[in-house]
C-alpha cells in the first residue's frame, strides 16, 4: 500500500515512544521507505540503534549534523512524501504552533509543505489545557486525537497515543490522496509586463507566489497542471512563459477547451502603452512626459463569456483590493461571471504581494463566503481547492 512512498517519522520525548517501533515495522511491511527523526529527549525512551535496525536508515537527531553541505532539515523535508510525528508532546506541539525551530524535527516541520500527521500523547490534564488546545487549532495538519484510558502517570483519562492502526491507515489515505486525478487545471500567475520602449515597462508588484503555490498544490493533488506565468519558474509540469496581458490571453485561449478549471491568480495589467517605441525614448528638456494608454482585454470576463452557459471549465478569479475588500469583491464576482472569487487585502504588509503568506476570503456565485485566516500560501492553496472541490 505504501510502495515507493517516503515517510519521515518524528518521535518526541513521551513514554509511548516505545510503541513506535511497531509502527515502523508496519510501514516497512507495506514497502515504505522510512527515515526517523528524534528529539534528544525521545532517545531517553527508545534507543537509536533499535530505530536504525527497524527502519534500515540512519536516525537523525542533531540539527547541525550536516553532510556534504546539505542541511538536514531541508534535505529531509524535500525527501519525504509525508511527515508523521508520534508521539508528539505538548512541548513540540507548542513549538510548531509558534514556528520555534530549536531542534531538527521542529525545523523540518517548519520547512515541510506536504501532509503532516500529529498523534499527541500526554497527561489528560495537559491535553485539556486551553493553551494546548489553542496551539493545536493553529496548525493546518491532520491531528489524531489521543484515546482515553489508564495513563503511565497513574491518571485515567484522555491522553493515550491513538492506535497504531489508526496512524497507519491515515498515512495510507493521505499519501495516496489524489482528488484531482484526471483534472486539467490551468493557473495564471505573476504580474504582466507592458513595454514602453526597449528598456522601460509598466507592471505591478505581484510576485506570482500565490499562483505558483496553487499550481504546485494542484500537481500534488493529482491534477494535470498548466501554469501560464509572467515569472521565470521551472517546474515538473507544463509552464508557459508569457509577458504581456495579450500574451496571457492568447495562451489562455489556446488552453481553454482542454481545461476543467481555470484559476486566474495573475495580476494582469489593466492598460498598455498605445504606441510602443522601438527605440529608447530619450530624455528631453521638458519636465513632463505623456504616455497614451489603451485598455487591455478583461481576460477574466472574456473567458467567463466564452463558456456560453456551459458549466465547465470552472473559473476562479482573484480580487486584490486595498479598501472595501468584500464590497468590491462581491461586485466583481457579479460583473465578471466567474464561479468563485478569491479576495485578498493588498494593503497589509504581512500578506499578499511578495509575502510568503496570505489571508483570503472565498466568495462563490451562490452567495457563500469562506474566510481563510493568515497562513503560508501553500496552505491557503490547499484550502482553496478544498473549498471549490469539496
Residue 266 phi, psi (nearest 5): -70, 150
In whole angstroms, what is the distance from residue 254 CA to residue 226 CA?
12
β-sheet bridge partners, residue 226:
186, 238
User: Measured between alpha carbons, how far is 320 from 300 in angstroms, rounded to an integer?
Assistant: 14
Interhelix angle for 377-389 vs 209-220, to 10°? 60
Q: Are strands 142-143 and 293-295 parallel, antiparallel or unpaired?
A: unpaired
Euclidean distance between CA atoms 80 and 105, whole angstroms: 13
**Alpha helix (H) ranges present in the chain?**
20-29, 48-55, 72-79, 90-97, 104-111, 124-127, 130-137, 164-175, 209-220, 245-255, 299-306, 325-336, 377-389
Phi, psi values for residue 122, rounded to 5°:
-170, 175
- Is residue 153 part of the annotated active site? The answer reads yes
Phi, psi of 236 (to 5 degrees): -90, 20
Of 153, 162, 231, 258, which is the active-site residue? 153
For 346, the grid coordinates are 493588498
d(CA 284, CA 279): 15
Tell me the three cell numbers of residue 124. Answer: 489528560
Q: Greatest CA span in the chain, whole angstroms?
A: 87
User: Which distant-in-sequence residues (6+ apart) come within 8 Å of 323 by Cβ?
Assistant: 347
- DSSP label of 58: P
**Dihedral sign for Cα atoms in the order 305, 383, 322, 334:** positive
Report the alpha-carbon distance of residue 163 to residue 166 in Å, rounded.
5
Catalytic residues: 153
Amino acid at each position: 500500500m505504501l510502495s515507493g512512498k517516503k515517510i519521515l517519522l518524528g518521535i518526541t520525548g513521551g513514554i509511548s515512544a516505545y510503541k513506535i517501533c511497531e509502527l515502523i515495522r508496519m510501514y516497512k511491511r507495506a514497502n515504505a521507505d522510512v527515515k526517523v527523526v528524534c528529539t534528544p529527549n525521545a532517545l531517553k525512551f527508545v534507543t537509536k540503534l533499535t530505530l536504525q535496525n527497524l527502519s534500515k536508515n540512519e536516525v537523525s537527531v542533531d540539527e547541525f549534523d550536516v553532510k556534504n553541505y546539505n542541511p538536514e532539515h531541508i534535505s529531509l523535508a524535500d525527501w519525504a512524501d509525508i511527515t508523521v510525528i508520534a508521539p508528539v508532546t505538548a512541548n513540540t506541539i507548542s513549538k510548531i504552533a509558534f514556528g520555534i525551530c530549536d531542534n531538527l524535527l521542529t525545523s523540518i516541520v517548519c520547512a515541510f509543505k506536504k501532509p503532516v500527521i500529529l498523534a499527541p500523547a500526554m497527561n489528560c490534564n495537559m491535553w485539556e489545557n486551553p493553551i494546548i488546545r489553542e496551539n493545536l487549532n493553529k496548525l493546518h495538519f491532520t491531528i489524531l486525537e489521543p484515546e482515553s484510558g489508564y495513563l503511565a502517570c497513574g491518571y485515567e483519562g484522555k491522553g493515550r497515543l491513538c492506535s497504531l492502526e489508526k496512524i497507519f491507515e491515515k498515512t495510507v489515505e493521505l499519501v495516496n490522496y489524489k482528488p484531482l486525478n484526471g483534472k486539467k487545471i490551468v493557473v495564471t500567475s505573476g504580474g504582466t509586463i507592458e513595454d514602453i520602449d526597449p528598456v522601460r515597462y509598466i507592471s505591478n508588484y505581484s510576485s506570482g507566489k500565490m499562483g505558483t503555490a496553487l499550481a504546485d498544490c494542484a500537481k500534488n493533488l493529482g491534477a494535470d497542471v498548466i501554469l501560464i506565468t509572467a515569472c521565470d519558474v521551472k517546474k515538473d509540469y507544463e509552464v508557459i512563459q508569457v509577458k504581456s496581458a495579450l500574451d496571457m490571453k492568447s495562451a489562455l485561449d489556446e488552453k481553454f477547451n482542454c481545461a476543467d478549471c481555470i484559476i486566474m491568480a495573475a495580476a494582469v495589467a489593466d492598460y498598455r502603452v498605445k504606441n510602443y517605441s522601438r527605440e529608447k525614448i530619450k530624455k528631453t528638456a521638458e519636465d513632463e512626459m505623456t504616455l497614451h494608454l489603451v485598455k487591455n482585454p478583461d481576460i477574466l470576463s472574456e473567458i467567463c463569456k466564452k463558456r456560453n452557459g456551459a458549466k465547465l471549465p470552472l473559473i476562479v478569479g482573484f480580487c486584490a483590493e486595498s479598501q472595501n475588500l468584500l464590497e468590491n469583491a462581491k461586485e466583481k464576482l457579479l460583473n465578471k461571471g466567474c464561479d468563485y472569487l478569491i479576495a485578498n487585502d493588498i494593503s497589509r504588509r504581512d500578506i499578499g504581494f511578495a509575502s510568503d503568506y496570505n489571508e483570503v476570503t472565498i466568495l462563490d456565485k451562490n452567495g457563500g463566503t469562506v474566510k481563510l485566516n493568515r497562513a503560508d500560501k501553500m496552505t491557503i492553496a490547499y484550502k482553496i481547492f478544498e473549498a471549490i472541490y469539496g
